Amino acid sequence: PRTALTLLGLGDMGTALARTWLAAGHRLTVWNRTAAKAGPLAALGAAVAATPAEAVAANRLVVVCLLDDASVGSALDGIDLTGKDLVNLTTGTPAEGRARATWAKERGARFVDAGIMATPSMIGAPEAGGYVFYSGSRGLFDTHRAVLEVPAGARFTGEDPGHAALHDVALLSAMYGLFAGVSHAYALIEGEDISPKDLAPLLSEWLGAMGFFVGNAAERLSSRDFTTGVVSNLAMQVAATGTLVRTAQEQGVSAELISPYLELMARRLAADPAAHGVEDTAGAITLLRRPDRGR
């Protein structure tokens, strides 16, 4: 069925979203701070609002995709949100998502926060595998699920409005750790008679094989048993990783991208060599959270 909805924000991501809703036959009202960006969408059938207030007034479902949480606050400042269903696709932190949820509730709106796991080119292309995390009002999500799934798949992560951002940031953080390791590997071979193109398939294959760590660490964190079924014990790994640092030195490459993790493993071992030496590396995760912080 055709749904009427409003979209605030026509940057790269907002424009990609708008195109998929229009292509699917939904009735879309758009607003963007720089009005010129709405032109091509108007040609595709979008109604263009002159102000955020006008855009919000047009429909019950209001989707926001702006630069950051501050721009959401400034665009919606002073606007009547009574009875609105507000979906925030703007990237933010969990605390920003929770604060925005409280802010929306105080203004009479239902609210879900979201984290987009896709680039604009993956929007409207299900085969690309992009999707969006949502959290907050289950009622809002259930009401609008079908239209929200037009641009990309939807995964609801619970009613805590901070959890979509938390899932988003957890995945992105792991991704940057992977990028860091791959960057270090390429730096090591630079200037040698080894082509990055020859290393690439070996890296992909190795990282795929080492992906077992994801499930393995989850198992250990859940059971709090870091010792059962260990194949590479921490005492050995800490001794062996000295080779990584020395090789970086020999190659004239900074170890800055990998040394924090190696140091964390060494710290875990040093805290109790007899107990932690027979674990694997997942126990090091327990050192990361500050005891005086978090929820």
Interface with ligand NDP (CB under 6 A):
9-14, 32-34, 37, 65-68, 71, 74-75, 90-91, 116, 119-120
| Shortest Cβ 284–ligand NDP spacing (Å) | 30
Rounded-to-integer distance, Cα 176 and Cα 36, Å: 35
**Closest separation between CB of residue 257 and ligand NDP, Å?**
23
Q: What is the dihedral of CA 97, 49, 28, 95, to 10 degrees?
A: 0
Residue 19 DSSP class = H
Nearest to ligand NDP of 169, 187 (CB atom)? 169
Residue whose C-beta lies closest to ligand NDP: 11
- Minimum distance of ligand NDP from residue 73's CB (angstroms): 9
User: Cβ–Cβ contacts within 10 Å for residue 172, how many?
Assistant: 13
Of 48 and 284, the one with the shorter C-beta distance to ligand NDP is: 48
Q: What angle do CA 31, 132, 61 make, to 5 degrees?
A: 40
Full DSSP string of 228-280: TT-SS-HHHHHHHTHHHHHHHHHHT---TTTHHHHHHHHHHHHH-HHHHTTS-
Q: What are the residues facing 269 on neighbouring strands?
A: none
Query: In the complex, what is the shortest distance from the CB of residue 89 to ligand NDP, in angstroms, rounded to a whole number?
Result: 6
What is the dihedral sign for C-alpha 162, 164, 165, 170? Answer: positive
**Nearest distance in Å: CB 126, ligand NDP:** 17
Comparing CB distances to ligand NDP, the nearer of 68 and 256 is 68
Taking the least distance from each CB to ligand NDP, the nearer of 7 and 282 is 7
Residue 72 or 109: which CB sits closer to ligand NDP?
Answer: 72
Q: For the chain, how many residues are written? A: 295
